[in-house]
Homo-oligomer: A and B are copies of this chain.
């Protein structure tokens, strides 16, 4: 039985471990890299090693940063009274790209899922509560997903703060701008209808 040279096979294997990269795509990537300018392979390897060593979690928001405190948390121009709570560090980007949020972020690190052993202490929920107590947070935007786990995580945090004066909000749900009604799923339609607003 034929097998590719070990170094090639290993590269295909490592690529296959990445999400959404199947064996065929992995093979295509590997052949692309070894057939073309090989310096590219070194650039990718260097980028991987640099990301591995340089990127740490921001001590305040748990987003990614190369400094102890990230660019956003360190910025004097941000509104420190509004805190947007997201599930993962990658969720910060769409907010920043749209430029809509002038406040700070807090990365939970996941959503509650007792069956998978993900309890409040597994996430950064205690740290979130400490931060709210310590700092002058006036509004908490719970920008978690719409899975049952995400919704119950938002509800859990909302309940802890039931007796506080902090304004708790979540993002509006509805029809995406520019979307054709034909393509809207039933649950989104239900939410958009229930949460319809006065013209």
Q: Is A163 an interface residue (CB 8 A)?
A: no
Knowing A2-B71, A17-B40, A28-B20, say if A7 contacts B96 (CB, 8 Å): no
Q: Is A55 an interface residue (CB 8 A)?
A: yes
* Alpha-carbon separation in the docked complex, A145 to B17 (Å): 30
* Alpha-carbon separation in the docked complex, A32 to B21 (Å): 12
**Are B29 and A18 in touch, CB under 8 angstroms?**
yes
* Alpha-carbon separation in the docked complex, A41 to B70 (Å): 22
Nearest B residue to A67 by beta-carbon distance?
Answer: B5
CB distance from A95 to the nearest CB of B (A): 9
CB distance from A58 to the nearest CB of B (A): 9
**Are A5 and B54 in touch, CB under 8 angstroms?**
yes
CB distance from A57 to the nearest CB of B (A): 10
Which of B14, B45, B51 is the one whose CB lies under 8 Å from A30? B51
**Are B34 and A14 in touch, CB under 8 angstroms?**
no
Q: Which residues of B contact A15 (CB under 8 A)?
A: 44
Knowing A7-B51, A54-B5, say if A14 contacts B43 (CB, 8 Å): yes
* Alpha-carbon separation in the docked complex, A187 to B40 (Å): 38
CB distance from A1 to the nearest CB of B (A): 8
Q: Which residues of B contact A71 (CB under 8 A)?
A: 2-3, 5
**Are A48 and B64 in touch, CB under 8 angstroms?**
no
Q: Is A11 an interface residue (CB 8 A)?
A: yes
Instruction: Select the stretch in A85-93, A148-156, A176-184, A188-196 that faces chain B.
Output: A85-93
A residues neighboring B (CB under 8 Å): 2-8, 10-11, 13-15, 17-21, 25, 27-35, 38, 40-52, 54-55, 64-66, 70-72, 88-90, 93, 96-97
